[in-house]
């Protein structure tokens, strides 16, 4: 094993595969609920008490298909953790994030078992979804970091834009939680007789929509601050892309509500939630300038902060200029 080495490019491709697999896991999990296949396999980890594979019927096949995706994800996460240890040049941050993937996917699998044994309890399903979103966040950050050199990078925006974007990330988490709670009050329980959250669907939908509107308004404020401060075009364009994604997701949300929640539109909305979350994290990460992995050695760091963080971008700042706050 000591002679094995993995370069930055293969590791990045593996991270991208992990990211795509996490999204597929979220979508297939939604398909299980929307097709009422939550108890298609009434046991876990086997499909039934004495049978590992499902019978050739729709609900067992859908449920078992999601389990197969989780199995692929578990194997891929373990492979990524091993690859992070074999990667050269070595990166401690990538090792920690890869370890977080392993813990997250194990937590998802355990929660999947609780979902089955609690007969699709809406609260457990909601937690299961949020853990999936946390796993997706780790996969996004890992993929973004694997594409550039180590270090926090130099912030390319003003402090106001940075803190407003951090608030947007936090508010997006609230949006995701409210969306999961809204689904928990709706008709798509995943199976017959599943316990629902005892709140009115219209009331919960209104709360969710208001939080989404607040997030959109906050993003508009961020875009205004970026424009007023003459931020680099790359950052402003990323903000516009995020706005377009959020508007599209909002339109899908209104369409599914006024068409009485057809399963296909609800599934597209779940996919849209994953895309919005990935785009928010991508936008936040892009507020800093990072050296790509392919760039040559920028030279030795000179400042004490550069020596502590190992950030090559810090060493390029002019002498006497105060260090900008990292993202």
> What's the rounded mean pLDDT across residues 167-192?
89
> What DSSP string runs through 160-202?
HHHHHHHHHHHHHHHHHHHHHHHHHHSS--SSTT----SS-HH
Between the ranges 77-91, 137-151, 232-246, 308-322, where is the mean pLDDT highest?
232-246
Residue 312 clears pLDDT 60, i.e. is over it = no
Report pLDDT for 320: 41
Residues 41-99: tens digit of each pLDDT: 777 777 877 778 777 788 888 888 888 898 899 999 999 999 999 998 889 999 999 99
Residue 318: pLDDT band (50, 70, 90) is very low
Reading the block at residue 266, the tokens are 């609800």
Least confident of 17-21, 49-53, 184-188, 235-239: 49-53
Report pLDDT for 294: 60
Reference 23, options 214, 268, 200, 305; nearest CA is 268
Residue 106 clears pLDDT 60, i.e. is over it = yes
Reading the block at residue 93, the tokens are 């941050």
Least confident of 132-141, 180-189, 191-200: 191-200
Residue 124 clears pLDDT 60, i.e. is over it = yes
Residue 189 and residue 121: Cα distance in Å, rounded? 9
Backbone angles phi, psi at 273, to 5 degrees: -60, -40
Which residue blocks in the chain are alpha helix, DSSP H? 8-34, 58-86, 92-117, 122-146, 159-185, 201-228, 233-258, 263-285, 304-309
Beta carbons within 10 angstroms of residue 190's beta carbon: 23
Reference 179, options 141, 116, 132; nearest CA is 132
Residue whose token pair is 């219209």: 202
Residue 3: pLDDT band (50, 70, 90) is low
Report pLDDT for 242: 97
Residue 173 and residue 136: Cα distance in Å, rounded? 12
Residue 289 clears pLDDT 60, i.e. is over it = yes
Is 49 in contact with 202 (CB distance < 8 Å)? no
Residue 255 clears pLDDT 60, i.e. is over it = yes
Q: Provide the whole-model pTM.
A: 0.84
Is 158 in contact with 229 (CB distance < 8 Å)? yes
Residue 194: pLDDT band (50, 70, 90) is confident
Contacts of 285 (CB under 8 A, 6+ apart): 141, 144, 327
Report pLDDT for 50: 76
Comparing 277 with 257, the larger pLDDT belongs to 277
């Amino acid at each position: 094993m000591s002679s094995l080495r993995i370069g930055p490019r293969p590791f990045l491709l593996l991270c991208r595969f992990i990211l795509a697999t996490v999204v597929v896991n979220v979508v297939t999990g939604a398909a299980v609920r929307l097709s009422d296949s939550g108890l298609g396999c009434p046991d876990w980890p086997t499909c039934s008490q004495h049978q590992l594979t499902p019978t050739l019927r729709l609900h067992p096949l859908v449920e078992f298909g999601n389990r197969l995706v989780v199995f692929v994800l578990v194997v891929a996460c373990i492979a990524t953790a091993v690859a992070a240890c074999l990667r050269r040049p070595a990166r401690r941050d990538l090792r920690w994030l890869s370890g977080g993937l392993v813990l997250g996917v194990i937590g998802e699998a355990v929660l999947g078992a609780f979902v089955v044994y609690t007969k699709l309890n809406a609260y457990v399903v909601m937690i299961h979804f949020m853990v999936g979103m946390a796993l997706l966040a780790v996969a996004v950050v890992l993929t973004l970091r694997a594409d550039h050199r180590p270090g926090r990078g130099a912030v390319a925006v003003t402090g106001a834009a940075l803190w407003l974007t951090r608030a947007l990330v936090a508010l997006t988490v609230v949006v995701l939680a409210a969306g999961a709670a809204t689904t928990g009050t709706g008709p798509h329980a995943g199976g017959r007789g599943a316990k629902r959250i005892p709140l009115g669907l219209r009331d919960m939908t209104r709360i969710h929509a208001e939080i989404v509107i607040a997030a959109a308004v906050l993003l508009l404020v961020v875009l205004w601050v970026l424009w007023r401060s003459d931020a680099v075009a790359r950052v402003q364009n990323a903000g516009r892309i995020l706005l377009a994604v959020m508007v599209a997701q909002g339109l899908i949300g209104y369409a599914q509500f006024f068409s009485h929640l057809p399963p296909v539109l609800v599934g597209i909305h779940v996919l849209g939630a994953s895309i919005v979350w990935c785009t928010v994290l991508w936008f936040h990460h892009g507020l800093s300038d990072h050296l790509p992995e392919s760039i040559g050695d920028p030279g030795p760091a000179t400042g004490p902060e550069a020596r502590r963080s190992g950030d090559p971008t810090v060493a390029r700042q002019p002498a006497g200029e105060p260090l900008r706050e990292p993202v």
